[in-house]
Amino acid sequence: MSAVLKQEQKFGNAALKVLIVDDDPPTRLMLGTLASQLGYRTVYAKNGETAISVFAAEQPDIVLMDMYLPGMQGDEAMTELRALSGERWVPIIFVTIAGEVGRHVATLVRGADDYLVKPVDQDVLGAKLEVARRTIALQRQVEEKTRELRRYRDDAENEMRMAKEVIDRLVHADRVADPMASHWILPAANFSGDLVAVARTPTGVLHVMLADGTGHGLSAALSVLPITPSFYAMTAKGLPIELIASTLNRTIREQLPVGRFVATTLVSVNSVQREVKVWNGGNPPLLALAADGTIQRKISSRHLALGIAPPESFDSEFDSFRFEAPCQLFLYSDGVPEGYEAAGETSGQAAVEALLLGVPANTRMKLLRSRLSARHLEQRPHDDVTVVLVDCSGGATVTATKADSRRPSAGTLT
Partner 1 sequence: LTPTVEAVAAERVADVAANDASVTIDAQALRAEVGDDDIFLQLCQLFLQDAGSLALELAEALAAGDMERLYRAAHRIKGSVSVFHAPRAVARFGKLESAARAGDMGIIEMEYQASRRVLDSLVNQIEVAQGAKAA
Q: Least distance (Å) from partner 1 to the CB of residue 61?
A: 23
- Stretches 116-124, 217-225, 373-381, 390-398: which one binds partner 1 (CB under 8 A)? 116-124
The Cα–Cα gap between 231 and 397 comes to: 31
Of positions 9, 37, 294, 393, contacts partner 1 by CB under 8 A = 37
Instruction: Supply the DSSP string of 70-89, one letter for each residue.
Output: SSS-HHHHHHHHHHHHTTS-
221 closest CA partner among 175, 158, 163: 163
How many residues make up the chain in this entry? 414
- Stretches 63-71, 147-155, 344-352, 363-371: which one binds partner 1 (CB under 8 A)? 63-71
Contacts of 47 (CB under 8 A, 6+ apart): 21, 23, 69, 70, 71, 72
Q: Least distance (Å) from partner 1 to the CB of residue 16?
A: 21
Q: Which one, 26 or 179, has the nearer CB to partner 1?
A: 26
Contacts of 288 (CB under 8 A, 6+ apart): 276, 295, 296, 297, 298, 299, 321, 323, 327, 328, 329, 330, 392, 398, 413
114 closest CA partner among 99, 133, 141: 133
Q: Least distance (Å) from partner 1 to the CB of residue 124?
A: 12
Q: Which one, 116 or 189, has the nearer CB to partner 1?
A: 116
Site string for partner 1, 310-329 (x = CB under 8 A): --------------------
Q: Least distance (Å) from partner 1 to the CB of residue 37?
A: 7
Q: Which one, 103 or 140, has the nearer CB to partner 1?
A: 103
Q: Which residues pair with 117 in a beta bridge?
A: 96
Q: What are phi and psi of 80, to 5 degrees?
A: -65, -45
Of positions 12, 86, 119, 408, contacts partner 1 by CB under 8 A = 119
Of positions 57, 98, 109, 272, contacts partner 1 by CB under 8 A = 98
The Cα–Cα gap between 394 and 374 comes to: 34
Q: Which one, 28 or 183, has the nearer CB to partner 1?
A: 28
Of positions 2, 9, 13, 33, contacts partner 1 by CB under 8 A = 33
Q: Which one, 73 or 139, has the nearer CB to partner 1?
A: 73
* 97 interacts with partner 1 by CB under 8 A: yes
Contacts of 171 (CB under 8 A, 6+ apart): 195, 197, 224, 225, 228
Count of chain residues binding partner 1 (CB under 8 A): 20
Q: Which residues of 6-40 are buried (b: 16+ CB within 10 A; e: fewer)?
A: ebeeeeeeebbbbbbbbbeeebbebbbebbbebbb
243 three-class SS? helix
Among residue numbers 371 through 400, which ones bind partner 1 (CB under 8 A)?
A: none
- Stretches 64-72, 155-163, 175-183, 252-260: which one binds partner 1 (CB under 8 A)? 64-72
* 75 interacts with partner 1 by CB under 8 A: no
* 2 interacts with partner 1 by CB under 8 A: no
Interaction site with partner 1 (CB under 8 A): 22-27, 29-30, 33-34, 37, 66, 68, 70, 97-99, 118-119, 122
